[in-house]
A and B are shown apart, each in its own frame.
Chain A
Amino acid sequence: MSPFKYADESIQSQDIMIAIPSVAIAVSILDLPGILAKSVRFADGWIAIIIAGILAVSLTWFVAKIVSKFPNQSFLSYSSSLLSKPVAYLLTLLFAIQGMMIAAYEVSSISIISKQYLFDTTPVEVIGLSFLLIVVYSVSGSRVGLFRLNAMFLPLIFLVTGLLIIFAIGFMKLDNVLPVFTTGINGYVKGTIDSALAYAGIGILFFYIPLVKDINKVPGRAAFGMSWVVLLYLLIYLVCIAVFGQATTEVIRLPLIELAKSIKIPGGFFERMESLFFVIWITSIFTTAMMTYDVAVMALQSILPKLKKHTIVFGLSPLIYFISTLPNNFLENVKFEEYLAYTTSILPVFVVIPLWIMYGIKGGKNRGQ
């Protein structure tokens, strides 16, 4: 039908490279510096970010490597060939639930944060619903479309955050960053765990990599994509500490928004940039919600192959909306986040280790070519 090779439903390795940061960067971009500043002293959090980053990048690589050995197979089929059928079904279901949960969490955070920074009387339900509807609209489109959306929004996120950092240079105080290496070991461990939780989204690789055409390039590129996230987190953290100092960063809930609040853009065309920055960061939260929603749809599709994609997409949306309305306030939302962060970080680890072991045992016999 389509004359162009790239126009069909298959994706390229560079799409995965872009999708990884698009999924990983979500609400954590806004609150990571504050969480980190609680456990480490001064600017020492950069060590925690880098250690956690290295872990995340290597996990990405390991996941991508094992999955890339099974081109054109769904997660269900290659995991059942390695781990037996019931386990595979269970894992697929877990990923589906996790995808839904993350999507619901993003919707809920969007509504709570927007309510705080942008709205006064608009009901939280309306804010969340309008966001979810746009997510549903995107997921009900073509799957490659999602990757194209990532490619269009990710540069925007990096550009805007980069601009913010540049404008913030004038407000940085070196005194806030010094001294270095004053944190104890415990602080680093706590900080590493905290920042490791910010590198979520590796789970999508189990589902998307089999769709990739030039699958051999995927592991390297996926890991490379994850390293952008490390860099971005690192910069944001250092800038927040340099501008606010550790003590203030610690008590600010969303330091990046406060940062946007403090800077002044030369020329004075806009004052109070935080609303503008925040709505642009909404796109990054949107891409996360969209990709995880789609993973949930994919997982369910493989379990229930008879259902049409649109049926699943529209069927899931009330459920996700319902879950998203459960956290009523900021504190419950944070609890939700913590719970999710642990599961999203742990699930890929617990899936990838048995996969590698079984792959090692079964070896080339079951190679799914």
Chain B
Amino acid sequence: MARRSIFNRMKTRNKIKQSQEQQEEFNTSITKNLDDNLKSIKKMLGDPTDLVTRELIIGGIEKRAAIIYISGITDEDLINNNILKVIQENLMQYETGILDKIHSEVVAVTDTDKSNNLDDVSLAILNGHTAFYLEGYEEVLLMGTTGGESRSIEEPESETLVRGPRDGFVESIFTNMALIRRDIRDPNLRFKKHEVGKRSKQMVVVCYIEGITNPDLVNEINRRLATMDIDFISDSSFIEQWIEDSIYSPFPQILDTERPDSVSASLIQGKVGIIVDGTPFALIAPMSLSDGLASPEDYTQRWMSASLLRILRFLAAFIAVFLPGLYVAFVSFHPGMIPSTLAYSIAASREGVPFPAAVEAILLAITFEILHEAGVRLPKVIGQTIGIVGGLVIGEAAVSAGIVSPIMVIVTALTAIAAFSIPTYSMSIALRTFRFIVIIASGALGLYGLILIYIMMNIHIVNLKSIGMPYSIPFGPLFLKDLKDVIIRAPFTKLTRRPKHLEPVDDVSKDTSIK
């Protein structure tokens, strides 16, 4: 109860603050008043939590000054030794023209600049520069201190690309935030902090771009995060499963990714990212079924090949769910649909197999799932043996022992490959689960059972929501214009509008008037 009241208070406070922010206009030029200046810059950047403001009083002249930078993307050693320290040591002697002297004589940083414009200042800060404000001056000193510590950033293991950025998220939330900031240098990029975990008190950051993302969406996610009541979250999946809309569904309703570029691209589209301290997996919400079949690779390849790949993935998803069921229906119910020659050779190859096709399909599918699970759990070095064992067990021994027919092995293998080609792992698992239901239904009622299950899946999907957004979007409700970045990937010159189904505040993603 106590926690809830704190959250409630936080919520109301945030609300008040937000409404104030929306009402107040901040000054875009630098004034002589230090407090005003600091307020303006904070307002412009939305007072992010990683913004460091160090106020100091310069001894000799008793003047107030401030150093502002964003931690995580700056080299703090450099700031401490070459800026803070030297200023404090040397500033006793000067009285007039102090800012010029600091600029030209004191600071031991190579890249320095002066500005009297808040836009330049904020951009510089977002780039990792440090701003030095001095009371009584209408200029700000900008010093290049880009840097910052982070665990070595590696290529994400769960989502590899042939072409595209190679960096992946790490466990440190500040590094992760910095990775996103490096992609989007927009002053409207917002990081909203939450504290989750009753005992662990982990930091969870909701990031979005103000002016693009639908504010209702952000509020809803913030509201749901505030309801989190759990001791410890070891991964973002805890949050995913806490805030998702339906717990009675095998489908993932919030997308997880290890790639900063995926998050950035989604933010630009008007979605919301959730970064959790201590895990390299960020969340993207809302998601639709088709998002689970999209890959960042789609945007790095030429649009025609990317479009073909997308269609191929839709086909693969279909195969992963329905192929064994189709095979069972054909073989046990509708042999007339198989071309005569193939039908005869299937009949010949099944001669002596003791089980009906449906049982055979389920047996093989379970064997495959076990092999897959074993392969994932084993250390990489031993993992390879699983491949050999599986290949021998399924491919050779089972067939020659007459337990399964060779064609069933082909069908299962094809299904497995298709399931692996789905870029989102959680989606792939969900589809593999449905495969069993499809096999059972086709084994009982043939193609008729299969189509009923297909209809049933569709009913489930249209009733599913992701943070209030229908899962079946943009197919139903139909958003015709959004389909050009779903079924195919239109050329970038044609993708000038953000997806309409996300109801972005500003839907033009490219300013065509500026060339």
A/B: CB atoms within 8 Å of each other = yes
Interchain CB contact under 8 A, A3 and B333: no
Chain A residue with the shortest CB-CB distance to B480: A14
Task: Find A280's partner among B337, B451, B465, B501 (CB 8 Å cutoff).
Answer: B451
A268 to B337, CA, bound (A): 10
For A4, A280, A283, the residue with the greatest tally of chain B CB atoms inside 10 Å of its CB is: A4
Interchain CB contact under 8 A, B336 and A272: yes
Known contacts A119-B448, A141-B463, A145-B462; A12/B468 CB under 8 A: no
Known contacts A118-B448, A147-B476, A152-B462; A271/B337 CB under 8 A: yes
- What chain A residues lie within 8 Å of B336 (beta carbons)? 271-272, 275
- What chain B residues lie within 8 Å of A118 (beta carbons)? 333-334, 446-448
Interchain CB contact under 8 A, A7 and B468: yes
Task: Please tell me which stretch of A54-62, A81-89, A127-135, A216-224 contacts chain B, meaning at least 4 of its Cβ atoms lie within 8 angstroms of it.
Answer: A127-135
- What chain B residues lie within 8 Å of A14 (beta carbons)? 477-478
A24 to B276, CA, bound (A): 51
Interchain CB contact under 8 A, A149 and B456: no
Size bracket of the B interface: 35 or more
Task: Find A130's partner among B214, B219, B449, B465 (CB 8 Å cutoff).
Answer: B449
**Chain B at the A interface: SS class:** helix
- What chain B residues lie within 8 Å of A148 (beta carbons)? 462, 470, 472, 475-477
A149 to B339, CA, bound (A): 33
Interchain CB contact under 8 A, B448 and A3: no
Task: Find B476's partner among A1, A150, A273, A275 (CB 8 Å cutoff).
Answer: A150
Q: Is A151 an interface residue (CB 8 A)?
A: yes
Q: Is A339 an interface residue (CB 8 A)?
A: no
Known contacts A134-B456, A273-B337; A145/B463 CB under 8 A: yes
Interchain CB contact under 8 A, B333 and A7: no
- What chain B residues lie within 8 Å of A2 (beta carbons)? 220, 465, 468
How many pairs of A and B residues are in contact by the CB < 8 Å rule?
Answer: 122
Known contacts A134-B459, A279-B450, A282-B448; A3/B475 CB under 8 A: no
Known contacts A119-B448, A271-B339; A3/B459 CB under 8 A: no
Task: Find B448's partner among A127, A142, A268, A271 (CB 8 Å cutoff).
Answer: A127
Q: Is B263 an interface residue (CB 8 A)?
A: no
Interchain CB contact under 8 A, A130 and B476: no
Interchain CB contact under 8 A, A1 and B468: yes
Q: Is B57 an interface residue (CB 8 A)?
A: no
Size bracket of the A interface: 35 or more
- What chain B residues lie within 8 Å of A138 (beta carbons)? 455, 459
Q: Is A286 an interface residue (CB 8 A)?
A: yes
Interchain CB contact under 8 A, B477 and A147: yes
Q: Is A116 an interface residue (CB 8 A)?
A: no
Q: Is B445 an interface residue (CB 8 A)?
A: yes
Task: Find A3's partner among B445, B451, B467 (CB 8 Å cutoff).
Answer: B467
Q: Is A46 an interface residue (CB 8 A)?
A: no
Interchain CB contact under 8 A, A275 and B463: no
Q: Shortest beta-carbon distance, A261 to chain B, in Å? A: 10
Interchain CB contact under 8 A, A3 and B476: no
For B338, B455, B456, the residue with the greatest tally of chain A CB atoms inside 10 Å of its CB is: B455
For window 295-353 of chain B, which residues contact chain A by CB distance below 8 Å? 333-334, 336-340
- What chain B residues lie within 8 Å of A147 (beta carbons)? 476-477
- What chain B residues lie within 8 Å of A1 (beta carbons)? 468
- What chain A residues lie within 8 Å of B219 (beta carbons)? 3
Q: Shortest beta-carbon distance, A122 to chain B, in Å? A: 7
A350 to B301, CA, bound (A): 59
A282 to B454, CA, bound (A): 11
Q: Shortest beta-carbon distance, A98 to chain B, in Å? A: 23
Q: Is A330 an interface residue (CB 8 A)?
A: no
Task: Find A4's partner among B334, B454, B469 (CB 8 Å cutoff).
Answer: B469
A214 to B123, CA, bound (A): 43
A151 to B447, CA, bound (A): 23
Q: Is B458 an interface residue (CB 8 A)?
A: yes
Task: Bits for A103-141, please: 1 = Cβ < 8 Å to B, else 0.
Answer: 000000000001000110010000100110010011001
Q: Is B511 an interface residue (CB 8 A)?
A: no
Q: Is B503 an interface residue (CB 8 A)?
A: yes
Interchain CB contact under 8 A, A131 and B214: no
A147 to B214, CA, bound (A): 25
- What chain A residues lie within 8 Å of B465 (beta carbons)? 2, 7
A224 to B36, CA, bound (A): 60
- What chain B residues lie within 8 Å of A269 (beta carbons)? 339
Task: Bits for B455-495, please: 1 = Cβ < 8 Å to A, else 0.
Answer: 11011001101011110100111100000000000000000
6 more contacts with CB within 8 A, not counting A3-B219, A130-B445, A134-B459, are A4-B469, A141-B463, A148-B462, A152-B458, A271-B336, A286-B455
Closest 3 CB pairs of A and B: A148-B476, A2-B468, A151-B476
Question: Can you report 21 A-B residue pairs in the complex whose CB atoms are below 8 A from each other?
Answer: A3-B216, A3-B219, A4-B214, A4-B216, A4-B468, A6-B501, A7-B468, A14-B478, A119-B448, A127-B448, A130-B448, A134-B459, A137-B456, A138-B455, A147-B476, A148-B470, A149-B459, A151-B476, A153-B458, A275-B336, A283-B451
